[in-house]
Amino acid sequence: MNQFTSVHVIYLLEAARWTLLLSLIALLGGGILGLALALARVSRLPVLRVMAIAYIQIVQGTPLLVLLFLSYFGLSLAGYRLDPLVAAGLSLTFYVGAFLGEIWRGCIEAVPRTQWEASDCLGLNRFQQYTHVILPQAVRIATAPTVGFMVQVVKNTSLASIIGFVELTRAGQIVNNSTFQPFLVFLFVGAIYFAICYPLSVASRVLERKLHVAR
Amino acid sequence: MSQDSSLAAGRPGRDPDGPANASGVVVSVQNVTKYFGPLKVLDGVSLEVRQGQLVAIVGRSGSGKSTLLRCMNGLEAIQGGRIVICGHDVGIGRSNRAELRRDVGMVFQSYNLFPHFTVERNITLALTLVKKNTKVEAARIAAEVLALVGLADKNSAYPEQLSGGQQQRVAIARSLALSPQVMLFDEVTSALDPELTIEVLKVMEDLAGRGMTMVLVTHEMAFARRVADQVVFMHKGKVWEAGPTAQVFAHPATAEFAQFIGTGL
Amino acid sequence: MTYKFDFSFLAERWPAFLEGAWLTIQLTVVSIALGFVLGTLCAVLRVYGGGVVRRLIGGYVETIRNTPLLVQIFLVYFGLASLGLKLGAELSAIIALVINVGAYTTEIMRAGIEATGKTQLEAADCLGLSRVQTILHIVLLPAMERVYPALSSQFVLLMLASSVTSQISAEELTAVANVIQSDTYRSFEVYLVVAVVYLTLSFLYRFGFWLIGRVLFVRRRRIGAAI
């Protein structure tokens, strides 16, 4: 049994970088997927809408852990090596995409109907309406909830530990197995997560207030 | 006390020279001052309300009349002077607040009914919780007061199913059910359409006829002129006119009041 | 190479999935109920309490919402054990889940409570209702009705998040799945089935909350309108 020393602290902090990397991958992949889903949700084609709704409902009704297992074992079936980072990145992308899709759909729909009408009357086609009028306003509305959701993403990366990806939580378990001081170790792990997430939470609230004041 | 018998004629069932008027003072406001921050909203206001009287407080918006009413009930604190209502000194701590609430009823401009309760429950809530009536007793009282305001058939309706005038009458019934000694009315018809105003005023006139001591802040000048025993005209936080209704209206002592009633506000 | 999906294990193992689902239901219903009570209490204290209490509850809420559930579970199960308090897996799971959902409920209910019109409080005051009576009878039910969609969403999320308790070997659906897949080596199929079961549970829970809403919010049922 070892003491919990600065060596362990550094190990944990380094693992936190993997947490951040995985979060970024999830946000990037999930962001692209989410945008596609949001646009599909508000599309005029019923087929697209139904598919998007079905996807979002299924993903939102399944635990992230189960999705992780499915990706992990699914990859092996497809003949790929069981790389935890790839599996985690993939499942988080699917997961985050569904939630961001819902959030962004709400933001697109929050743009007043009158904006559609005005731009239509000016002769813009649908694509131009989206790119010049609707999406810029939707982005403004979406900033606060998206930043808020980033907190969820960072926390969700902790599940990647379960399929063996060494991020902050897994590192905590490893350190714990060496020092047998779970209370101290996981308190520290929690504190690092807090240090990453709390500023995002605060930022989200500040953005939310600014949005309402501006309106 | 009233010198004009035609005044009494406007209110059936009242004996203007009877013992009711000779009874003691129910509300005593003595030289009250109040500030909202740096702004002086009440400047040495004094008035007296005797048992069974209906006192109408009139004036322009911002004259301090609503504030005065809310101070009488302890909803706003005063910084100077004294208010004694039903024997309770309003300035002193919360301990006698419960008794104050039992003796003083208040009806608001926005009715403030509880939307998640039926009309009946709105009325029986305080009866069961505060006056500790049994459910049966409370239901009986509720039925009684609803009949008094003409809404006996609405006891299982929800507030939003009723018109503004009906909601206000329920609010009056709710306050009345607690058997207060004095009722305060804060511009209770200001939010209502003219037709709905009439039905509420009728209930209030009825109430006065039964001898309830009432203090109203109102814009309904015709009603005040006809029904009130005393009229108090407030302007810029001070009392500029006070006295028996007919006298005050017939001989305004100040130019401001003359102008006020002249413009028909 | 094409993969041959093999769901044959279902033929004899399907009761285990149902059992797992039932265990998850028991675990999460208890946690949701207790968490709701805790959260509502904290929300009331946060809105009506003094400065110290407000800051304490604020600290509690922020800490829980900015750290992962998995870490919270480890702290309760392993952390408390190392301090001498050895709680079983299920109890630890419930404690961690209650603390977690309590924090989210606090925020949601706080929003609902703060949206109570000042005039409602004034009317209650003028009728002689005490502070406690006002909160219980006038504030809480409409507040809950206001935030009910957010509240029930949060509870469904908690049910799904409970899958993480399998990591401390709490008995619930995902743990059952882990056992079966290690027996049968049909990992993908097993988790596919579990995903379907969770989806079904999601719908069940949403329906359940809808029903509860109909019962609680009598006014809504009778005249079909929201506050």
pLDDT tens figures, C116-163? 989 999 999 999 899 999 999 999 999 999 999 999 999 999 999 999
What is the per-residue pLDDT for A86? Answer: 86
Task: Report the chain C residue with the minimal C-alpha distance to residue A153.
Answer: C68
Inter-chain contact C123–B114, Cβ cutoff 8 Å?
yes
Q: At B114, phi and psi to the nearest 5?
A: -85, 115
Inter-chain contact B175–C145, Cβ cutoff 8 Å?
no
Inter-chain contact B106–C126, Cβ cutoff 8 Å?
yes
Q: Which of C87, C97, C78 is nearest to C158 (CA)?
A: C97
Which residue type occupies C45?
L
Inter-chain contact B116–C133, Cβ cutoff 8 Å?
no
Nearest CA of chain A to the CA of C4: how many Å? 10
Q: Do chains A and B touch (3 or more CB pairs under 8 A)?
A: no
Domain boundaries, chain C: 25-171
Q: Do chains C and A touch (3 or more CB pairs under 8 A)?
A: yes
Confidence of residue B17 (pLDDT cuts 50, 70, 90): very low
What is the per-residue pLDDT for B11? Answer: 40
B116 contact partners, CB below 8 Å, separation of at least 6: C141, C142, C145, C217, C219, C227
What is the per-residue pLDDT for C225? Answer: 61
May I ask the CATH architecture of the domain B5-11+23-108+184-262? 3-Layer(aba) Sandwich (3.40)
- The pLDDT of B169-194, averaged and rounded, is 93
In angstroms, rounded to a whole number, what is the distance separating the alpha carbons of residues A172 and A155? 14
Which ipTM was obtained for this model? 0.89
Domain boundaries, chain A: 6-214
Find out whether A67 and A94 touch, Cβ atoms under 8 Å. Answer: yes
Nearest CB neighbour to C128, from listed B102, B112, B113: B102
What digits encode the pLDDT tens for the residues C101-113?
Answer: 999 999 999 999 9
DSSP code of residue B186:
E
In angstroms, rounded to a whole number, what is the distance separating the alpha carbons of residues B136 and B129? 13
What digits encode the pLDDT tens for the residues B97-148?
Answer: 778 888 899 999 988 899 889 999 999 998 998 888 899 999 999 999 999 9
Quick check: A124 pLDDT over 90? no
Which of C119, C126, C139, C219 is best to mutate for the B interface (most B CBs within 10 A)? C126
Confidence of residue C85 (pLDDT cuts 50, 70, 90): confident
What digits encode the pLDDT tens for the residues A63-105?
Answer: 999 999 998 888 777 777 777 888 899 999 999 999 999 999 9
The hierarchical CATH code for the domain A6-214 is 1.10.3720.10
Which of C120, C121, C127, C134 is best to mutate for the B interface (most B CBs within 10 A)? C127
Quick check: B50 pLDDT over 60? yes
Locus of tokens 């005039």: C119
Give the fold, CATH level 3, of C25-171.
Answer: MetI-like fold (1.10.3720)
What is the per-residue pLDDT for C2? Answer: 57
What is the per-residue pLDDT for B62? Answer: 84
C119 at interface of B, judged by CB pairs closer than 8 A: yes
In angstroms, rounded to a whole number, what is the distance separating the alpha carbons of residues A3 and C34? 38
Confidence of residue C33 (pLDDT cuts 50, 70, 90): very high
Q: Which of C158, C196, C219, C180 is nearest to C27 (CA)?
A: C158
Give the pair of three-digit tokens for residue A22. 């995985």
Nearest CA of chain B to the CA of C85: how many Å? 44
In angstroms, rounded to a whole number, what is the distance separating the alpha carbons of residues B240 and B56? 14
Task: Report the chain B residue with the minimal C-alpha distance to residue C123.
Answer: B112
- The pLDDT of B36-40, averaged and rounded, is 89
pTM summary value: 0.84
What digits encode the pLDDT tens for the residues C3-29?
Answer: 677 777 777 888 889 999 999 999 999
Inter-chain contact C191–A69, Cβ cutoff 8 Å?
yes
For residue B160, the chain C residues in CB contact (below 8 A) are 223, 225
3-state secondary structure chain A: CCCCCHHHHHHHHHHHHHHHHHHHHHHHHHHHHHHHHHHHHCCCCHHHHHHHHHHHHHHHCCCHHHHHHHHHHHHHHCCCCCCHHHHHHHHHHHHHHHHHHHHHHHHHHHCCHHHHHHHHHCCCCHHHHHHHHHHHHHHHHHHHHHHHHHHHHHHHHHHHHHHCCCCHHHHHHHHHHHHCCHHHHHHHHHHHHHHHHHHHHHHHHHHHHHHHHHC
